[in-house]
Structure 1
Amino acid sequence: MAGAGRNRRQGGPGQSGGERNGRRDRGRSGGGSHGGGRGSGSHAEKSGFGGRKLSQDRTEGPRQQAERTGGSYGQGGKTRGSVAGGGRGQAGTRPPRGSGGTGGPSGVRAAGGGQPSAGRGSQQGPILSMGRIKGEWMEIRLPDNLSGAPMAAIAKYLPLPPKLLSRLMQTRGCVLQGPHLRLHLFPREGRDFPSDWMELNILYEDEFTLVVNKPAGIEVHPSEKGQRKTLAHAVAAYYEMSGQDLRVRHVHRIDKDTTGPVLYAKNEFAHYQYDKAMREKEVERIYVALGEGRVEGNKGKIDKPIGQDRHHSTRRRISDTGDQAVTHYEVVERFDDHTLVRLRLETGRTHQIRVHMASINHPLAGDGLYGGKRGVMSRQALHGERLIWRHPWTGEKQQVTAPLPDDFAQALVKLRNDR
């Protein structure tokens, strides 16, 4: 099966350790002038806008996963991580070649290792493997027992939502020629944000997906008319400089002073799949935070509804009439008067972690809005450590781990030294 990543080469022929199966796993390098943490290892790479030209014939290798192992916060507060070897032995890996999935024709395989994949349209069974990506088109060679079949029959083995497939057929974006099916999934688009150059730490990129490690101090998108210098403007500049005529489609948001991965869909198909996955809670976000005081117990669950504070336009509060919000946490490390915790969001309310931690009397260090002191950090001590999602076509699990930013790492060093 042809995968989805971009062929990128630099520094001469051959592939570097991070350039696997035809696409580059972007390194865990520091986030430039906005304070991202520095990565370690041969796979780290700063992603400036060097004007690298993307291949027009984007044919890739058989697997599209960018799994990274979880970072550890050992002595000195530095993160360590590595590129996982293709996700072997993990949920969502591909069944053996030729297995085809239950009840599917030859050349069709079960999505996500035989399980229904996240965010898939009406498709819950086996799907056609991805084809070659040529410019704006994906070309799939149909298996013998689907060659010559009507489009209605072939559609059952595609992960495309019916509405999108119908529009493709109406606009000649779905072309069936004998054993070949061509889908216009990667059209050139007019950009919807002006470009503001900013050094970006790109954690992952393929034909469907972009994941950017957001630094502290910038918003994901404008919050008022005419606002510039947001992450959306920086992504627009990256698309422009790398020759990609795409709209900027963020799938989720994080707060201005929170750091970590932000997921972008690079085309309409991927956007539909990711939006559906978010609604069905299939996109997993794992954070680390530094709470004030010593959290009792090694793990816990905070299940408290969150609503808007009527007396403060940007503040949220625990409210019986608010939206359901659930946060799971576990203690990573205890200090004299702070606790490092890892948190997993079951829901995604505005300021959820900040409000929930304050509600159990452990506001985040540096979070003045919710009662935190700014002795060890000047912003809220909250970082998106890991993002886990499924490939929009194959359903295979993918994940990235973002390095701990410098100010957070330095705060941990200070707390360890003060013990």
Structure 2
Amino acid sequence: MSYYEPLVYIVPPEEEGFILKTVLQKRLMVSRKLLSRIKLTEQGITVNGVRQYINIKVNAGDRVEIRMEEEESEDILPQDLPLHILHEDDHLLILAKEAGIIVHPTHGHYVNTIANGVVHHWQQAGITCRFRPIHRLDQETSGVLAIAKTPYVHQQISEQMIQHQVKKEYLAFVWGTVADAKGTINEPIDRDPEQPHVRIVRPDGYSAVTHYEVVQQFAQAALVRIWLETGRTHQIRVHMRHLGHPLLGDKMYTLPEYDQGSAAEEVNQRLDRQALHAHKLGFVHPGTRTWTEYLAPLPADLLTLQTWLEKNN
């Protein structure tokens, strides 16, 4: 049986006499679900190299280790696909996702996804991991994508997301002149009853909060920085449309006044997706316990769009 590198915690003097379960849950922040799973592993939890029950008391200086079995994504076909790796360590793989590629295989779409490329990358590197994306990006959205290498890392960052402690920052090109340099859109979102795959602002929807700031105003559009408090499906696209400034290239959430004319035709020639990019992702790294941010620069298609907007300002 193979294991990932163990998580190690040295008990400090002030925790002398603590129950091991308390140390695992309060200091290492192991969830009850994950703790139950680790307990079933042969060498899952040890103190000073000896397997222990979680109801024992620990002493100052004790070396607590957690081991998790290595896993593979056996149902994902490895494919040699190009990956733009921003960072990789024993805990995480951080990618700059290209627009047009799906993150995970779905029904009828089993190949040419990020997952296929990552599984191949790990096989070539001799790494045994299960594909665990921490969050998702729409197929046509580019930018930072974080993938956990162990169940513990996935659980840790997922918990930060639930507590709204993860920083997600996007860059988007939107139509029109944005009146307020900064603003917040606090409008609930749910499915459109007439088009279930489309989301709309509706009073009985789920809470959704989007903050924005204008970075650059052009003659017919603007580059805005956007950060989220919630993570509803299509949230940015729905909220910006509701504000009257749909994203350039977004055919699903456009408005009639921006769906035709020479400017729309020019944009469609330069862009075959919505102009949305996940620019920055920040969280407390589960391995180092320090705040870490990862940035993905604007891809070529959005840089070309920005240059055209500046020339036609």
How far apart in 1 are the matches of 2:27 and 2:310?
A: 55
How far apart in 2 are the matches of 1:338 and 1:184?
A: 52
* Cα separation, partners in 2 of 1:363 and 1:161, compared to 1, 3 Å: same
Are 1:412 and 2:306 counterparts?
yes
**What residue in structure 1 maps to residue 129 of structure 2?**
246
Deviation at 1:154, TM superposition (A): 4.8
Are 1:397 and 2:286 counterparts?
no
Q: What are the equivalent positions in structure 2 for 1:249-288 lying under 5 Å apart?
A: 249-288=132-171
Q: Which amino acid aligns with 1:375?
A: E
How far apart in 2 are the matches of 1:226 and 1:335?
A: 39
**What residue in structure 2 maps to residue 190 of structure 1?**
72
Secondary structure of the residue aligned to 1:370 is coil
Deviation at 1:310, TM superposition (A): 2.6
Q: Which amino acid aligns with 2:35?
A: L
**What residue in structure 2 maps to residue 330 of structure 1?**
213
CA contact (8 A) 2:4 2:67 kept: no
Cα RMSD for the two superposed structures: 2.4
- More strand as a share of residues: 2
Q: What are the equivalent positions in structure 2 for 1:294-305 lying under 5 Å apart?
A: 294-305=177-188
Deviation at 1:273, TM superposition (A): 1.1
Q: Which amino acid aligns with 1:189?
A: E
- More helix as a share of residues: 2
Deviation at 1:223, TM superposition (A): 3.3
Deviation at 1:230, TM superposition (A): 1.1
How far apart in 2 are the matches of 1:272 and 1:294?
A: 41
Q: What are the equivalent positions in structure 2 for 1:157-196 lying under 5 Å apart?
A: 157-171=27-41, 172-177=43-48, 179-185=62-68, 187-192=69-74, 193-196=76-79
Most deviating of 145-154 and 309-318: 145-154
Are 1:151 and 2:20 counterparts?
yes
How far apart in 2 are the matches of 1:393 and 1:169?
A: 21
Deviation at 1:280, TM superposition (A): 1.5
* Cα separation, partners in 2 of 1:374 and 1:328, compared to 1, 3 Å: farther
Deviation at 1:323, TM superposition (A): 1.2
**What residue in structure 2 maps to residue 380 of structure 1?**
274
CA contact (8 A) 1:220 1:230 kept: yes
Deviation at 1:352, TM superposition (A): 0.8
How far apart in 1 are the matches of 2:128 and 2:14?
A: 37
Deviation at 1:298, TM superposition (A): 0.6
Are 1:136 and 2:17 counterparts?
no
CA contact (8 A) 1:213 1:402 kept: yes
Q: Which amino acid aligns with 1:164?
A: L
Q: What are the equivalent positions in structure 2 for 1:190-209 lying under 5 Å apart?
A: 190-192=72-74, 193-209=76-92
* Cα separation, partners in 2 of 1:316 and 1:183, compared to 1, 3 Å: same
* Cα separation, partners in 2 of 1:142 and 1:289, compared to 1, 3 Å: same
* Cα separation, partners in 2 of 1:223 and 1:166, compared to 1, 3 Å: closer
Deviation at 1:393, TM superposition (A): 4.7
Most deviating of 228-237 and 399-408: 228-237
Deviation at 1:144, TM superposition (A): 6.9
Q: Which amino acid aligns with 1:173?
A: G
How far apart in 2 are the matches of 1:160 and 1:374?
A: 53
May I ask how many residue pairs the two structures share in their alignment? 285
How far apart in 1 are the matches of 2:21 and 2:93?
A: 32
TM-score, length-scaled by structure 2: 0.83
How far apart in 1 are the matches of 2:176 and 2:18?
A: 65
How far apart in 1 are the matches of 2:162 and 2:27?
A: 23
How far apart in 1 are the matches of 2:93 and 2:133?
A: 9
CA contact (8 A) 2:97 2:142 kept: yes
How far apart in 1 are the matches of 2:4 and 2:138?
A: 35
CA contact (8 A) 1:368 1:374 kept: no
How far apart in 2 are the matches of 1:149 and 1:331?
A: 51
How far apart in 2 are the matches of 1:160 and 1:289?
A: 36
Secondary structure of the residue aligned to 1:375 is helix
* Cα separation, partners in 2 of 1:245 and 1:143, compared to 1, 3 Å: same
* Cα separation, partners in 2 of 1:143 and 1:395, compared to 1, 3 Å: closer
Deviation at 1:226, TM superposition (A): 4.9
* Residues 262-311 of structure 1, C-alpha deviations (whole Å, 9 max, x = no match): 11111111111122112121111101111111111211111111111233
CA contact (8 A) 1:367 1:374 kept: no
Most deviating of 134-143 and 375-384: 134-143
How far apart in 2 are the matches of 1:184 and 1:208?
A: 13
* Cα separation, partners in 2 of 1:153 and 1:247, compared to 1, 3 Å: closer
**What residue in structure 2 maps to residue 42 of structure 1?**
none
